[in-house]
Structure 1
Amino acid sequence: MNQNDEEICLKQCPLCKTPILKTQRFMNQVKVILEDVSKIKIIQYGELAVIRCKMKTLIDSLKFLDKNFYLNYIGFRNPCIKNLWNTFCKPLLSLTSNKRSKFTLPANDIESLNFVIDLFTTTSKFKIRIKEINDVQKKQIIINHFEWILSVSFTYAQQLSNQQKIDINMEMARGSRIISLFEIMSNTKFQMAVNMQTSDTNEIKKIVDNMEALLLSCNMYTLSKDQDIQNLTEEIQKKIDGLPLITDKERQMIHAAMSTSFSEGIKAQGHWCKCPNGHIYCVTECGGPMQQSICPDCKVPIGGQSHRHVLGITVASEMDGARNLRFQQ
């Protein structure tokens, strides 16, 4: 019986290698070995009652998602993704469909499958937000990202390592940040800011471009990068909220109110000007500047003398539709 004390296993016949289960002389030693093997099985596979309970919950979740696959699926009925789902899901459902079946999965496999189920359910929660993004190209970028995550998860559903789970979770975080970024870019305030062409709005666009480049790169997404994106998102929101944005209707009302000071009234064009940094002001009466001043926002020279604008002044077409200043140099 002293064949090998380096591993826990049943002793074997030295001639035929058959495990020795019944022997009067060494029965106590065999029982000790069987008890040790049983402890190892519990550590490796878990308690049988717990496993069966988790198996039932797992199978119920798989049945529900399989029945409502396209209601939860984030894309546009991609057959490749559905085939990958069927590859790992259908065999499990068929093996457990027989009530007399005693089929069970190891604890690690159940944990891996539950991770995939939770992942699929989480992606489905983004469907409404994605639908509300008007830009078709941006919408497809997001869908492609989540389809890639699902394809990897479905392919290795029963054998995902801890590192793979961490990487997948980080890519899910990246996907969520991409949605948030595209929501900002689709926001009316951001669209208005883009058209303003001021130093503040140019800074916002630069930050957004940097975020987009970081999120859509092929480099690994990490916690530090995610924190950087979070900080940039908060910065953008503060800057957008601080912009003096006005609607087209409000512009028309402002123009109508100021036009009482224009020589040609409300139909006059070319009175509205922009400083070099994009801040808007107007010149009343004939529209030609007779006095030089400074911009109240950025302190650069504005106005002019003898109907001549200072260097860098441009027309604010968004206010009255003018293509040129009243007195264009």
Structure 2
Amino acid sequence: MEEDSVDEMKSHSNIHEARFLVGLCRYFLQQGYLPEQITILTTYSGQLFAFKRLMKKSDFEGVRVATVDNFQGEENDIILLSLVRSNKQGSAGFLKIDNRICVALSRARKGLYCIGNFKLLAQQNPTGPSLWREIVKDAEIYGTIGKSLKLQCRNHTETQNEVSNEADFSKVPEGGCSVPCEARLICGHVCRMPCHPADMKHENYKCRQKCTQTICTLGHRCMKQCYQPCDTQCKKPVDKTLPCGHIQKVPCYKSSSEVICESPCRRRLDCGHQCKELCGKGCTVVCQEMIRHYDWPCGHNVLAKCSAGPDSCSKPCNEILSCEHPCKGSCGKCHQGRLHAFCREKCDRTLVCGHPCRSTCAADCPPCSRKCENRCQHSKCKKNCGEPCVPCAERCIWRCRHFRCGAQCGKPCDRRACHDPCTLMLKCGHPCIGLCGEPCPKKCRICDKEEVTSILFGDEDDDDARFVELEDCKHLIEANALDQWMKTDSGSKDTSEATSIKLKVCPWCKTPIRRNLRYGSIIKQALDDINAVKRRIFGNERTIQNLRQNLQERIHREVVCAIARDQQLFLLFETMVSSTLALSHGQITALENRVRFQEEMIDLAKELQSLRSPSLNQQYVKQMKNEIVVMQTWLCKEPINRMSQQQTDDANREAKRFHLALNLFKILVKKPAARDKASEEVKAAELQLFDGKAMTAQRANEINDLLKKIDYKSGGLGISEKERKEIVAAIGLAKGHWLKCPRGHVYAIGECGGATETGKCPECGQGIGGTQHRLTEGNRVASEMDGAQYPAWSEEANNMANFDLNNLH
């Protein structure tokens, strides 16, 4: 086989020789030789790397591979030598050098095996002495050279196999021959390997036949392989009837009571759908059955999971937002119109800097986020475009042989423009068409006549026309016309109009003119006006820094608790406030509004948590808790440094609904009888508060009226405060004599106040009074009548709690 050239190493390799010697090395290892006894040598480094690619570390750990030059002075028991060179040109390279030949052939103590093109080597130096020719001649005499190598099986000495390439080693897969071993093992099974000279006593052999040992009372055999330790428990699958009645394949050793049934569950959920879990596991908590929902507050007909709530409604919202764009969110994501998704319409309004707004729709555009393009001949602004620039304090460089500006670069120039023609010559040899002291235009009136005389204002083709080249866009404009253009409001013909705060633009391409010495004063005035607007947008830096610090403290103090359920949202919110990014006053205000709403939600959640009464409808309490969390999460949705008018209105309406609901709960806790005395009003208020619809001003007024009616009707006897006082004064009983029946109807007990007889409530027929100075079950003190905390005859502190000791005379 011919050699290969390794261009990047300027070396040679021979893959045939490498594969053959790798196979031969494996054969020697199978004969029981240690890896440390074998060394593979090669005459070229390219072949060295070929060996390393072919030899897996796990198979050849300890076998050394080296070049002949690196092995000088060393020996080993077995040397496998690859000579590499084999080509049609008959080139042997440095294999012609005798001392290298001697080094390569004298490293073995017990056995030397060489592979190479000995015919090519013997032909070197045909007219003179050749060491290779002598070596080949002696090898032929002793029969130690040939086209193949004979391998004799140690177990079957009559069997020999010739190998001449990598594939031939498949005849000796385990280092012996292809005859089956067939030795009887200690376990009684037969060795299934082909003939192998190593481990003849099979002490390390692992029998992989099935184990024949019986390991349980039912006669089941061990399920492992013969060489593995037998199971202590029988794992053979058998049919067993489980406690639930299902039959299932179970490991033999397991009791049916220990097994989790994997059959489908037969039970039905509360919604009526089949449980989707396995029989042995807990029933489905969230039903995944897809059904049509018709009963959501939005009234949409939607296909969704049975367990899904109104927030899963996929119908488009399409409500017209305060920005006059249709809402692109879904009905569910907008929470039935209560909390709309942020409007994602592209703004595209032109900002004061002249760039189009790249943000989404909002009442006020955020500051431009592009890199500032303003620069002068000394430096350039490194801020974002929306931030106010710092004027350059260097001396202005506008000068000619007639005039020189003495002002600072960032202030209006104190010299007038020079109108004399430029006296310089262009590279083409023609006179410059510019003006004195201005940068010379690159174009020539003669060489670039067509381009220079293109009509824009009308005087471009005059022989004495002078031109100004704009640095920002490189357009050429006739000087007199450009002078007039720059004095108007960006070219407006009506100069009586109010001047816009913006940079003048090129009349050809509308690129803002930011750099030009001739019109420096106009440009600087425009930039100064723009900076004034930017400063108003950004606000006072010290004020903004104080606001940011205050917000950061408030977030760590309050908001962490509110949104700890969603660390990602918290990190987004906290990162925005603590970042080094410049924030405008509008952005800080938006963040402050979100924090204020968050704090309001936290206070509402705390108050709601403190309310405890059986008169509260726990379903509505739970709904309000969940909706507070929804709003807290909504307040942290991006972009959190902006808050549109729609979002502010939505948050205010939702907060108003929560406060009204909390007021209702407080009335029900303070006056439990309200559910009986104002049942219709309570139900109507709960329906309007928790029907999932947005809170409007009209709804809020209706709910407020309902709350007043509930409070009035549940005050005691459905009387005013004035009437209550008059009745208490007229009856003249001490505190604790006023009581109420189980349904809240008020009555009084005279004398000592202790109940000595029973009766029926004239209003509802419930039992009132009691015996042996003990009230009938369900009767209690009517605190709303006289402020007493306990009945007049009770065990609480001898009734002292019923009296204000400061008013005793």
Range class of TM-score, shorter chain: 0.5 to 0.7
Q: Percent same amino acid at aligned positions? A: 15
Ranges in structure 2 where 5+ consecutive residues have no aligned partner: 1-481, 493-499, 719-737, 771-775, 778-809
Deviations 1:74-102 (A, max 9, x none): xxx7623x432322322431x23xxxxxx
Q: What is the CA–CA distance in structure 2 between the aligned matches of 1:42 and 1:163, rounded to whole Å?
A: 26
Aligned length: 249
Show the counterpart of 2:629.
Answer: 147
Amino acid at match of 1:168: A
Q: What is the CA–CA distance in structure 2 between the aligned matches of 1:112 and 1:152, rounded to whole Å?
A: 14
Greater strand fraction, Structure 1 or Structure 2: 2
**1:65 aligns to 2:548 (yes or no):** no
- Contact conserved, 1:133 with 1:183, CA < 8 A, in 2? yes
Residues 194 and 179 from structure 1, CA distance in 2 versus in 1: closer, same or farther, beyond 3 angstroms?
closer
Residues 169 and 18 from structure 1, CA distance in 2 versus in 1: closer, same or farther, beyond 3 angstroms?
closer
1:64-143 counterparts in 2 under 5 A? 64-66=554-556, 68-71=558-561, 73=562, 79-80=565-566, 82-93=567-578, 95-96=579-580, 103-134=581-612, 136-143=618-625
1:181-192 counterparts in 2 under 5 A? 181-187=664-670, 189-190=671-672, 192=673
Show the counterpart of 2:706.
Answer: 232
- Contact conserved, 2:559 with 2:595, CA < 8 A, in 1? no
Which deviates more, 178-187 or 6-15? 6-15
Q: What is the CA–CA distance in structure 2 between the aligned matches of 1:11 and 1:138, rounded to whole Å?
A: 62
- Contact conserved, 2:590 with 2:643, CA < 8 A, in 1? yes
Deviation at 1:64, TM superposition (A): 3.8
Residues 131 and 26 from structure 1, CA distance in 2 versus in 1: closer, same or farther, beyond 3 angstroms?
same
Secondary structure, counterpart of 2:665 in structure 1: helix
1:153-164 counterparts in 2 under 5 A? 153-156=635-638, 157-164=640-647
- Which of 517, 528, 539 is equivalent to 1:35? 528
Residues 132 and 21 from structure 1, CA distance in 2 versus in 1: closer, same or farther, beyond 3 angstroms?
same
Secondary structure, counterpart of 2:588 in structure 1: helix
Deviation at 1:123, TM superposition (A): 2.1
- Contact conserved, 2:611 with 2:666, CA < 8 A, in 1? yes
Residues 248 and 83 from structure 1, CA distance in 2 versus in 1: closer, same or farther, beyond 3 angstroms?
farther
Q: What is the CA–CA distance in structure 1 between the aligned matches of 2:509 and 2:491, rounded to whole Å?
A: 19
Deviation at 1:319, TM superposition (A): 5.6
Which deviates more, 230-239 or 2-11? 2-11
Residues 216 and 138 from structure 1, CA distance in 2 versus in 1: closer, same or farther, beyond 3 angstroms?
closer
**1:316 aligns to 2:766 (yes or no):** yes
Secondary structure, counterpart of 2:586 in structure 1: helix
1:184-223 counterparts in 2 under 5 A? 184-187=667-670, 189-190=671-672, 192=673, 194=675, 201=677, 204-223=678-697
Deviation at 1:62, TM superposition (A): 2.1
Q: What is the CA–CA distance in structure 1 between the aligned matches of 2:693 and 2:509, rounded to whole Å?
A: 58
Deviations 1:264-306 (A, max 9, x none): xx6xxxx5265xxxx15xxxxxxxxxxxxxxxxxxxxxxxxxx
Which deviates more, 104-113 or 52-61? 52-61
- Contact conserved, 1:142 with 1:175, CA < 8 A, in 2? yes
Residues 138 and 105 from structure 1, CA distance in 2 versus in 1: closer, same or farther, beyond 3 angstroms?
same
Show the counterpart of 1:243.
Answer: 717
Deviation at 1:26, TM superposition (A): 1.6
- Contact conserved, 1:252 with 1:319, CA < 8 A, in 2? no
Deviations 1:214-251 (A, max 9, x none): 11122221222222222221221121114288346998
Deviation at 1:165, TM superposition (A): 0.5
Secondary structure, counterpart of 1:246 in structure 2: strand
Q: What is the CA–CA distance in structure 2 between the aligned matches of 1:160 and 1:227, rounded to whole Å?
A: 27
**1:54 aligns to 2:544 (yes or no):** yes
Amino acid at match of 1:184: I
Deviation at 1:183, TM superposition (A): 2.0
Residues 193 and 35 from structure 1, CA distance in 2 versus in 1: closer, same or farther, beyond 3 angstroms?
closer
Deviation at 1:31, TM superposition (A): 2.1
Which deviates more, 5-14 or 113-122? 5-14
Residues 318 and 137 from structure 1, CA distance in 2 versus in 1: closer, same or farther, beyond 3 angstroms?
farther
Amino acid at match of 1:148: V
Amino acid at match of 1:42: R
Residues 114 and 16 from structure 1, CA distance in 2 versus in 1: closer, same or farther, beyond 3 angstroms?
closer
Residues 70 and 318 from structure 1, CA distance in 2 versus in 1: closer, same or farther, beyond 3 angstroms?
farther
Q: What is the CA–CA distance in structure 2 between the aligned matches of 1:115 and 1:256, rounded to whole Å?
A: 57
**1:173 aligns to 2:661 (yes or no):** no
Residues 62 and 139 from structure 1, CA distance in 2 versus in 1: closer, same or farther, beyond 3 angstroms?
farther
Amino acid at match of 1:114: E
Show the counterpart of 2:760.
Answer: 272
- Contact conserved, 1:211 with 1:232, CA < 8 A, in 2? yes
Deviation at 1:173, TM superposition (A): 0.9
Amino acid at match of 1:215: L
Amino acid at match of 2:697: L
Deviation at 1:207, TM superposition (A): 0.2
Secondary structure, counterpart of 2:714 in structure 1: helix
Residues 148 and 185 from structure 1, CA distance in 2 versus in 1: closer, same or farther, beyond 3 angstroms?
same
Computing the radius of gyration from Cα coordinates, the structure with the larger value is 2
Deviation at 1:180, TM superposition (A): 1.3
Residues 128 and 63 from structure 1, CA distance in 2 versus in 1: closer, same or farther, beyond 3 angstroms?
closer
Secondary structure, counterpart of 2:582 in structure 1: coil
Amino acid at match of 1:40: V
Q: What is the CA–CA distance in structure 1 between the aligned matches of 2:585 and 2:523, rounded to whole Å?
A: 27
Deviations 1:298-324 (A, max 9, x none): xxxxxxxxxxxxxxxxx52466679xx
* Aligned Cα root-mean-square deviation (Å): 3.6
Show the counterpart of 1:310.
Answer: none
Deviation at 1:142, TM superposition (A): 2.1
User: Larger relative contact order (C-alpha < 8 A, sep ≥ 6)?
Assistant: 1
Show the counterpart of 1:9.
Answer: 503
Deviation at 1:113, TM superposition (A): 0.6
Which deviates more, 7-16 or 104-113? 7-16
Residues 213 and 51 from structure 1, CA distance in 2 versus in 1: closer, same or farther, beyond 3 angstroms?
farther
Q: What is the CA–CA distance in structure 2 between the aligned matches of 1:163 and 1:51, rounded to whole Å?
A: 28
Ranges in structure 1 where 5+ consecutive residues have no aligned partner: 97-102, 196-200, 260-265, 281-314, 323-329
